[in-house]
Amino acid sequence: MIWGDGKSPLFILKMFKTKVTELLDTALIERLDLFLIDFSISSENHIKVIIDGDNGVLVEDCMFISRAIENNLDREEHDFSLEVMSGGAAAPLTHKRQYKKNIKRTLKVRTSSEEIEGTLTEATDDNITLEWKVREPKPIGKGKVTVKKEANIPYENIVEAKVMIKF
C-alpha cells in the first residue's frame, strides 16, 4: 500500500527507528557512564530502552535518556510511547561492562557444559574469573577440607550469567 505522499508504513517506521536510534546514540555519547542493554520499537511505535551504567542507574539517568528522545520527536508526526528503564537486579548480564561493575559480587554462570556460582574476581576484555569454595574429602584420612576453586570463562562460552542477590 502506498500512501498519498508515496511513503509506505514500513518506510515510515524505518525512518522513525533511524531517528530514535540517532537521538539515543547522541544521548549515550553525552553520558559515557551509561550504556545500552536493549532497544526496540514495536510496529505501534512503542519505544523501549533498557540501559545500565558503570555506577548503576538512577531515575535521573532514565529521565535524561527519555528527554533526549522525547524532546526531539514531533508528536504531530509520530504517535509514540516511550519507556526507559534499567535492566534490574535480576536481569542476566549481557554486556562486558556489566561484568566489570559487578566485580566482588556473587554470580551464577551457566555455560553449555556446567553451572558455576562464585565470586567474580576479574573481568577482562576476553573472559571472567570466578572463585568459590567447596568441601572435598581429605586426600589422606577421614573428614573433609575446604578447597578454593577458580574458573576462567571466556565470554563466548557464557550462556547466561546473573548476579545472585544475598540478604
Are the C-beta atoms of 145 and 136 separated by less than 8 Å? yes
Q: Give residue-wise pLDDT tens across range 57-75.
A: 999 999 999 999 999 998 8
User: Which three cell numbers mark 148?
Assistant: 578454593
Exposed / middle / buried, residue 64 (Cβ in 10 Å: 0-12, 13-18, 19+): middle
What percent of the chain lies above the pLDDT cut of 90?
Answer: 74
Sign (positive or negative) of CA dihedral 69, 75, 80, 84: positive
Q: Give residue-wise pLDDT tens across range 133-161.
A: 999 998 888 889 999 999 999 999 999 99
